[in-house]
């Protein structure tokens, strides 16, 4: 079949909402975009464990500790689903991990901010997972089958993440003066970086239009950001916290909140590696990888020995 | 041993409840079949999603070629006589 007729079939499928599956023909650029996006998404899940793991041992109660532990374990699972989805496109796990460890691959910049108080764990669950959910719910309808299926599984698991975070914020907001101040301080620090999670504005986003045409993305960055603001502002009010944005205002005509300008300079600065924790995150990942080296080696040696033994036994029998 | 090699890739199938088929849920890397089952348990059944797991090393799966989709499956399209609705029966026959 000629390339142009394969392209026609591909485009027809996209148009008719038929998922693209691993071994089917797809344009190179579609494949490349997916590998980049899915592996970045996987890296974000993995690096995203670090700021939260920071508090597992210091969680204030057993209830909080088991919940946080389960959440962080889920994030590891999300990373694994996504790496597997990316591998169906022909890349290897090793290539992706190497790119993460060398700093060549990107992950969500939000994880380059520190979690300095317990309230930050509340803010991360509520806002960061909340923003991630907005994006991931949309991606359940993405055009590439394995990515969409991974997203459905992830979305099912995410809702407890956000609820446990919001519950932490609620508890602090109803607590002592200090606890309430701690919750407000966490919201102040995480609000703007959370809005940046949706990426550059539509005017600036270089990949957006093509991704929308291929139905990899189903909503634009600005649309998702607006949805997030509209969903989150009432949640903050409900627990008596205020959003750190003097320009935030309900717009009757649009039926949505107007909000202030995002500091894109800060955004690009963190993307380029100059955020508060970029170096620490990469160092921690590299250290974990190196320390796991002997485990990987031993497991493989053991597997080879077992296989040899089994082959010998089969021969005798 | 070289670190240039990933552990083999395994396809994971889960039976969610007694009476249902095992269904493909995704894949993962593991050094051997025992580890594949342990990892599958941790990755794919953290919330009671299954009661039984099959693992198959991915390289042993033979799949039909997507380009053969038409030649393999289109012939079934015009065999409507394989479906019960093809047959005209008197209305008096209620259940058949
Ligand atoms: Fe996640
Ligand atoms: Fe999450």
pTM for the structure as a whole? 0.93
Residue B83 lies in a domain: no
Q: Decide if A13 touches B, using CB distance below 8 A.
A: no
Across the range B49-73, mean pLDDT stands at 93
Residue B15 lies in a domain: yes
- The SS3 call for residue B23 is strand
Give me the domain span that covers residue B8: 2-62
Q: How far apart are alpha carbons A68 and A239 in whole angstroms?
A: 21
A residues 41-100 closer than 8 Å to B (CB): 70, 73-74, 77, 80-81, 84-85, 87, 92-94
Residue B39 lies in a domain: yes
Q: Do B47 and A299 touch (CB under 8 A)?
A: no
Residues of A in Cβ contact (< 8 Å) with B5:
94, 300
Residue B33 lies in a domain: yes
Report the CATH number that the domain containing residue B41 is assigned in CATH: 3.10.20.520
Going by C-beta distance under 8 Å and a sequence separation of 6 or more, which residues neighbour residue A14?
A20, A143, A214, A215
Residue B45 lies in a domain: yes
Q: Across all residues in chain B, what is the average pLDDT?
A: 92
B residues 15-44 closer than 8 Å to A (CB): 25-29, 31-32, 35, 42-43
Q: How far apart are alpha carbons B16 and A254 in whole angstroms?
A: 45
Q: Do B66 and A93 touch (CB under 8 A)?
A: no
Note the pLDDT of residue B3.
60
Mutation for testing the A interface, residue in B25, B26, B28, B30 having most A CBs under 10 Å: B26
Per-run averaged pLDDT (10 residues), chain A, 317 residues: 91 97 95 98 98 96 97 97 97 96 96 98 98 97 98 94 98 98 98 97 85 95 97 98 98 98 96 95 97 94 92 84
Lowest mean pLDDT among A96-110, B24-38, B68-82: B68-82
Residue B68 lies in a domain: no
Residue of chain A minimizing CA distance to B63 = A23
| In the predicted structure, residue B17 carries a pLDDT above the cut 50 | yes
- Specify the number of domains making up chain B: 1
Note the pLDDT of residue B1.
40
* Dihedrals phi, psi of A127, to nearest 5 degrees: -90, -50
Residue of chain B minimizing CA distance to A147 = B26
Residue B37 lies in a domain: yes
Going by C-beta distance under 8 Å and a sequence separation of 6 or more, which residues neighbour residue A193?
A109, A110, A113, A270
Residue B82 lies in a domain: no
């Amino acid at each position: 079949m000629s390339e142009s007729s394969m392209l026609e079939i591909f485009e027809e499928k996209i148009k008719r909402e038929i998922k693209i599956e691993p071994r089917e023909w797809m344009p190179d650029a579609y494949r490349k975009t997916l590998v980049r996006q899915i592996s970045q998404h996987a890296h974000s899940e993995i690096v995203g464990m670090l700021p939260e793991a920071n508090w597992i041992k210091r969680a204030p109660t057993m209830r909080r500790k088991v919940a946080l532990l389960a959440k962080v374990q889920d994030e590891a699972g999300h990373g694994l689903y996504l790496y597997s989805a990316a591998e169906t496109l022909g890349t290897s796990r090793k290539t992706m991990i190497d790119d993460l460890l060398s700093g060549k691959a990107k992950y969500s910049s939000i994880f380059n901010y520190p979690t300095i108080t317990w309230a930050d764990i509340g803010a991360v669950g509520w806002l960061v997972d909340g923003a991630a959910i907005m994006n991931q719910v949309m991606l359940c309808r993405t055009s590439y089958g394995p990515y969409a299926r991974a997203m459905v599984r992830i979305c099912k698991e995410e809702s407890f993440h956000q609820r446990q975070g919001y519950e932490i914020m609620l508890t602090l907001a109803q607590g002592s003066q200090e606890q309430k101040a701690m919750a407000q301080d966490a919201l102040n620090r995480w609000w703007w970086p959370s809005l940046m999670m949706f990426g550059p504005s539509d005017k600036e986003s270089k990949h957006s239009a093509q991704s929308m045409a291929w139905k990899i993305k189903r909503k634009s960055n600005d649309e998702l950001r607006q949805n997030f603001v509209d969903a989150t502002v009432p949640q903050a009010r409900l627990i008596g916290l205020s959003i750190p944005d003097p320009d935030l205002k309900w717009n009757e005509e649009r039926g949505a909140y107007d909000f202030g300008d995002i500091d894109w300079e800060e955004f690009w600065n963190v993307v380029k590696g100059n955020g508060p924790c970029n170096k620490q995150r990469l160092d921690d990942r590299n250290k974990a990888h190196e320390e796991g080296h002997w485990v990987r080696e031993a497991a493989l040696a053991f597997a080879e020995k077992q296989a040899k033994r089994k082959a010998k036994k089969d021969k005798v029998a | 041993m070289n670190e240039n090699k990933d552990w083999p890739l395994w396809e994971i199938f889960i039976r969610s409840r007694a009476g249902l088929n095992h269904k493909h849920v995704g894949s993962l890397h593991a050094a051997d079949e025992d580890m594949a089952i342990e990892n599958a348990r941790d990755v794919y059944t953290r919330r009671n999603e299954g009661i039984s797991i099959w693992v198959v090393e991915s390289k042993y799966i033979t799949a039909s070629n997507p380009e053969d989709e038409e030649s393999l499956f289109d012939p079934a399209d015009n065999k409507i006589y394989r479906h019960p609705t093809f047959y005209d029966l008197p209305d008096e026959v209620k259940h058949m």
